[in-house]
């Protein structure tokens, strides 16, 4: 049974589901390239999916595309992020949104993330949002102001704050901006619909033109495509407040029930000890990793070396180490594939699968793989079968070198040439040192009467 930390209940809980598991994952706001910190939270939902599928469940996953309505400040001030980016690039908002949406899909494919069943765009589901807002108005949970904007009445949802701990009575008015929007009845109310006269607006039944608030988008899409019983809702830890608090209030008041059974959040990623941000100049894209000669799946492996709800400090050294491990494991799997088949190492498989199910303890599962690799007692065929069995969850494509000629990692060719010259000069100290450097790259070197031979 899979156990996960539920952010709302603040404890690890068993995820009891039927054969069909409904999961909603907050998708990207498509106004820029996703950096590796953004991508970490999508690995969370992918691992959950793979583990539950291995346990026999069928997943129905919805991951939205926010292409309108996400303002530059969660306090609902400033402009729409995509509109601002479109102005900066001299393109239409939809051109910008589609460009970065496609870039996001390329990144998730490179990370071997399973595609969700539903990927609704906000701009294509406006009718659902208007319908949901109208329902909230009718039920007394929302109100229209003279300019046509609509606000959710926060005080009508007594359990607000259960996810983040930010209770309404403790929230300070105007804590991020000067003063409080005078149109609000209560300072913690938030916009479901904002009046505007600009590009990308829609007519509404309550008058004027405008666009949806960011929070209502996820409520409308999740309720429509997954229904009012959602088993799991995932996202980054930064979405707890206000996004997920507001989403929960909207969905629960509309449905009349607790819609999401379990809220699961992934922690922040740092790079070289700092939060990844454009202002600090340490934003790393997946394309940067590939340009550095590293496999994008080295990022996936580096992420799994830490628990999803631990803050992770990623570095280039960490990524290079993960790339070497990935290369070595693929070479080993290709080597073991040449041996006679043998049964799974069932006890070790059970250890790894127990770790997966224990709140996604991927570091413990990876330690099992290292134990399998080193074990002198396991037949190569058993190592092969066990590695590929566990790779169903790990998603590292460990079988990708089977039947292919080995390829040297970057820099290995030069080291081999240096070692050959050292041997010819009888410089055995340098020869041994270079052998160790090659081993660190995942390249094994053996000396024969006809010269050195290598495998990777």
In the annotated binding site for ATP, the residues are 278
Spatial distance between the Cα atoms of 386 and 329, rounded to a whole number of angstroms: 12
**Which run of H or E residues covers position 61?**
strand 58-63
179 confidence band (pLDDT: 50, 70, 90):
low
Mean pLDDT of 235-249: 96
For 217-235, the DSSP string reads HHHHHHHHHH-S-EEEEEE
pLDDT at 197 over 50: yes
Annotation: binding site for Zn(2+): 26, 218, 243, 247
Q: Which of 231, 266, 301 is the last residue of a domain?
A: 266
- Both 322 and 451 in one domain: the answer is no
pLDDT grade, residue 175 (50/70/90)?
A: very low
Number of structural domains in the chain: 3
Cβ atoms of residues 268 and 44 within 8 Å? no
The verdict on residue 7 lying in a domain is: no
pLDDT at position 25 over 90: yes
245 within domain boundaries: yes
Pairing of strands 209-212, 190-195: antiparallel
Per-residue model confidence (pLDDT) at position 170: 82
Q: Are residues 276 and 134 in the same domain?
A: no
Q: Could you please report the per-residue DSSP string of 144-161?
A: E-TTS-EEE-GGG-TTTT
- Residue 177, domain member (yes or no): yes
Q: Is residue 159 one of the residues assigned to a domain?
A: yes
Q: Please say if the pLDDT value at position 178 is more than 60.
A: no
Same domain as 49, residue 111: yes
Residues 61 and 177 in one domain: yes
- Least Cα distance to 260 among 230, 223, 235 occurs for 230
Domain extent at residue 50 = 17-266
**208 lies in the same domain as 84:** yes
Cα-Cα-Cα-Cα dihedral sign, residues 285, 288, 289, 290: positive
- Mean pLDDT is lowest, of 39-48, 167-176, 382-391, for 167-176
Residue 246 lies in a domain: yes
Q: Does one domain contain both 297 and 183?
A: no
> Are both 260 and 153 inside the same structural domain?
yes
Query: Do 309 and 426 share a structural domain?
Result: no
Among the three residues 243, 266, 289, which one is the final residue of a domain in this structure? Answer: 266
Q: Residue 381 above 60 pLDDT?
A: yes
Looking at 218, 251, 266, which one is the last position of a domain?
266
Residue 169 scores a pLDDT above 90: no
C-alpha 47/C-alpha 449 separation (Å) is 48
Q: For 26-40, 67-81, 341-355, 368-382, which range has the lowest pLDDT when averaged over its residues? A: 67-81
| 400-446 pLDDT, tens digit each | 988 876 667 878 878 988 998 898 898 988 999 999 999 888 888 87
What is the reported pLDDT for 409? 80
CB-CB contact of 61 with 53 (8 Å): no
Of how many residues is the chain composed? 456
If you average pLDDT over residues 327-335, what whole number do you get? Answer: 91
For residue 185, what are its two tokens? 């009845």
pLDDT in the model for residue 56: 93
Q: Looking at the DSSP assignment, which residues form a beta bridge with residue 275?
A: 270
Q: Is residue 352 situated within a structural domain?
A: yes
Residue 364 scores a pLDDT above 90: yes
Please say if the pLDDT value at position 77 is more than 80.
Answer: no
Q: Are both 247 and 388 inside the same structural domain?
A: no
Element (H, E) at 46: helix 36-54
Same domain (yes/no): 198, 134: yes
Which pLDDT value is given to residue 177?
46
Q: Which residue has the tokens 């952010």?
A: 7
Give the residue-averaged pLDDT of 53-57.
94
CATH code of the domain in which 380 resides: 1.10.730.10
Q: Using one digit for the tens of pLDDT, what is the confidence trace for 339-353?
A: 999 999 999 999 999
259, 275: one domain: no
> How far does CA 256 lie from the centroid of its chain?
30
CATH of the domain at 256: 3.40.50.620
The strand pair at 230-236 and 260-266 is best described as parallel
Alpha helices by DSSP H, listed for 61-151, are 81-89, 93-110, 126-138
Numbered residues of the known binding site: 26, 218, 243, 247, 278
| pLDDT value, residue 414 | 84
- DSSP run (H or E) holding 313: strand 312-314
**Would residue 405 count as lying in a domain?**
no
Residues pairing with 233 in the sheet:
24, 263
How confident is the model over 193-208, as a mean pLDDT? 87
Continuous H helices in 55-125: 81-89, 93-110
Same domain, 336 and 436: no
| 403 occurs within a structural domain | no
Determine the Cα–Cα distance for residues 124 and 101; give it in Å rounded to an integer: 14
- Beta strands 190-195 and 451-455, pairing class: unpaired
């Amino acid at each position: 049974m899979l156990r996960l930390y539920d952010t709302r209940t603040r404890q690890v809980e068993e995820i009891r589901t039927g054969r069909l598991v409904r999961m909603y994952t907050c998708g990207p706001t498509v106004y820029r390239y996703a950096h590796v910190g953004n991508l970490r939270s999508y690995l969370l939902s992918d691992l959950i999916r793979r583990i539950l599928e291995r346990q026999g469940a069928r997943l129905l996953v919805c991951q939205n595309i926010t292409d309108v309505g996400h303002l530059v400040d969660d306090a609902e001030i400033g402009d729409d992020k995509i509109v601002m980016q479109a102005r900066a690039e001299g393109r239409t908002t939809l051109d910008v949104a589609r460009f970065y949406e496609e870039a996001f899909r390329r990144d998730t494919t490179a990370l071997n993330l399973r595609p969700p069943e539903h990927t609704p765009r906000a701009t294509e589901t406006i009718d659902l949002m208007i319908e949901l807002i109208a329902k909230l108005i009718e039920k007394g949970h929302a109100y229209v102001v003279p300019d046509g904007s609509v606000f959710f009445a926060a005080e009508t949802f007594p359990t607000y704050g259960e996810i983040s701990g930010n209770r309404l009575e403790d929230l300070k008015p105007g804590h991020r901006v000067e003063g409080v929007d005078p149109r609000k009845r209560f300072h913690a109310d938030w916009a479901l619909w904002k009046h505007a006269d600009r590009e990308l607006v829609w007519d509404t039944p309550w008058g004027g033109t405008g666009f949806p608030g960011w929070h209502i988008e996820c409520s409308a899409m999740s309720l429509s495509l997954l229904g009012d019983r959602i088993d799991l809702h995932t996202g980054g830890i930064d979405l707890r407040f206000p996004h997920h608090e507001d989403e929960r209030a909207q969905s629960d008041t509309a449905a009349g029930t607790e819609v999401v059974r379990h809220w699961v959040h992934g922690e922040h990623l740092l790079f070289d000890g700092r939060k990844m941000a454009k202002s600090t100049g340490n934003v790393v894209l997946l394309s940067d990793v590939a340009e550095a000669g590293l496999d994008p799946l080295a990022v996936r492996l580096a992420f799994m070396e830490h628990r999803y709800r631990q803050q992770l400090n990623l570095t280039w050294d960490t990524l290079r180490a993960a790339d070497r491990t990935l290369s070595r494991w693929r070479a080993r799997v290709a080597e073991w594939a040449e041996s006679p088949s043998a049964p799974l190492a069932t006890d070790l498989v059970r250890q790894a699968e127990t770790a997966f199910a224990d709140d996604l303890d991927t570091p413990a599962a990876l330690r099992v793989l290292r134990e399998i690799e080193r074990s002198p007692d396991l037949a190569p065929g058993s190592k092969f079968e066990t590695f590929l069995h566990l790779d169903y969850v790990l998603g590292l494509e460990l079988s990708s070198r089977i039947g292919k000629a080995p390829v040297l990692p970057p820099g290995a060719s030069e080291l081999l040439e240096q070692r050959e010259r050292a041997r010819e000069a009888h410089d055995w100290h340098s020869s041994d040192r270079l052998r160790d450097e090659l081993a660190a790259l995942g390249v094994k070197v053996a000396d024969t009467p006809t010269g050195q031979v290598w495998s990777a």
